[in-house]
A and B are shown apart, each in its own frame.
Chain A
Amino acid sequence: MKHHLEEHEMTAAVAGLELDAAAEKHLGSCLSCRQRVSAMRDLIDARRQDLEADAPDWERQRQEVLLRLPSVPAAQSARRHFWTRPLLAVAAVLVAAIGLRALWMPAPPVDLAVDSELPVEQILAEVDAVLADDSIPGLELIDPGLEDGVNGNGTS
């Protein structure tokens, strides 16, 4: 048979916290321990009643609240879902990294051979040469009668 409750068990019993099985069993069978628990509980209850003695008239209080209510509640505030926070953090880090890279990385060397424009004369000469060539690859595949056929009946 367990002896009377230890102080920590008595405290737990008063606070309404869980007790181990042996303490619970003892409390169920020991009048002395139950009285000690209930004495403290009664005191707390008396204090609560004392506090409630200052309570307002509940119906009046309720009516005053209702008079102060806006006609409709405010619209639901925009709220982010919890999972957007890590995504936003990752996005912010990426943007910052790209920005820092742009600021701190030296610009790649310019290849003048690649970037320089071809002379206009050279381009025109190449175009002329292509137009002068009758055997343009691909043109020979077109059926000479095809255009007539299409224009004639609207179908191919």
Chain B
Amino acid sequence: MDPSRSDLSQADDALVLRAQNGDHDAFGELVNRHQRRVWMVCRQYVGVGEADAAAQDSLVKAFTRIRDFDRRAAFSTWLTRIAINTCLDELRRRRREAAVDDDRDGDEEAGLLERMPDGGAGPEARSMQKQAVASLATAEERLPPRQREIFRLRFYAEMELEEIATALEVHVGTVKTQLHRAVHRLREELGDYR
């Protein structure tokens, strides 16, 4: 963990202590610090349509259970674990209800091309980048679930390898191996874009 993360974790501890005593302001500050990551985690598991609700559910659950937080891991890691579990529960519920909309993923990825932020490059370069991003999104979907999960936690939720290992309850060596395979496979799939 780099120094800035360590400082953040120590500051989290003080806020957690207050939140454990029912201090909503302290928990609000924790939400402020970590909601982006929680949302990104939820985004990758349940999709953009449900990400807001899943992230809110995760944060409310975190407050409800905050007295169970025993500081064996960083608060952010514990919170990420709650977010992942919340999303997995949601996916199981969806599966039970057999209400999965198969078309949604396709629409979502097609929409990526339209939602690319304008950059400083010219139209042709922007168009190429949009294509490249769309290809990356498609290639990600072809990854084995575990590799995809670890790749996204690493690069989109911007988690450290050790944090991923703790959150997924796997050895850090497994995270490294799966991440290496994921990147290798994506580089192969992307071909010209990489």
Contact flags (1/0) for B154-194 with A, using CB distance below 8 Å? 11100000000000000000001001101110010010011
What number of B residues sit within 8 Å (CB to CB) of A? 49
In whole angstroms, what is the CA distance A36 to B156 when docked? Answer: 20
In the complex, identify which listed stretch (B7-15, B79-87, B92-100, B110-118) lies at the interface while the others stay far away: B110-118
Residues of A within 8 A of B40 (CB): 51-52
Chain A interface SS verdict (over half):
helix
Cβ contact of B43, chosen from A12, A51, A73, cutoff 8 A: A51
Residues of B close to A55: CB separation below 8 A? 36, 39
Q: Is the CB of A69 within 8 A of B60?
A: yes
Q: Are B59 and A75 in contact (CB under 8 A)?
A: no
Q: How far is the CA of A71 from the CA of B18 in the complex (A)?
A: 13
In the complex, per-residue mask of B61-98: 1 if CB is within 8 Å of any chain A CB, else 0? 00111111000000000000000000000000000000
List residues of chain B with CB within 8 A of the CB of A86.
none
Residue from B48, B63, B179, B194 in contact with A54 in the complex, judged by beta carbons closer than 8 Å? B48
A72 at interface (Cβ–Cβ under 8 A)? yes
Encode contact with A along B30-48: 1 for CB under 8 Å, 0 otherwise.
0110011001100110001
A39 within 8 A of B: yes
The DSSP consensus for interface residues of chain B is: helix
* Contact-residue bracket for chain A: 35 or more
Contact between chains at B176 and A66 (CB < 8 Å) = no
Smallest CB separation, B155 vs chain A (Å): 5
Does the CB pair B31–A62 fall under 8 Å?
yes
- Report whether B64 and A10 are in contact in the complex, using a CB–CB cutoff of 8 Å: no
- Provide the residues of chain B in CB contact with A73, threshold 8 Å: 19-20, 22, 63-67
Q: Which of A34-75 contact B (CB under 8 A)?
A: 36, 39-40, 43-44, 46-56, 58, 61-62, 64-66, 68-75
Please indicate the chain A residues that have their CB under 8 angstroms from the CB of B184 in the complex: 7-8, 11
Please give me the 8 A-B residue pairs with the lowest Cβ-Cβ distance, nearest first. Answer: A72-B22, A76-B67, A15-B183, A11-B184, A65-B59, A54-B48, A73-B66, A11-B183
Supplied contacts A55-B36, A68-B60, A77-B68, 13 more A-B pairs, CB within 8 Å: A11-B180, A15-B154, A43-B129, A47-B136, A47-B155, A61-B35, A61-B39, A61-B56, A62-B35, A66-B28, A68-B56, A69-B63, A70-B63
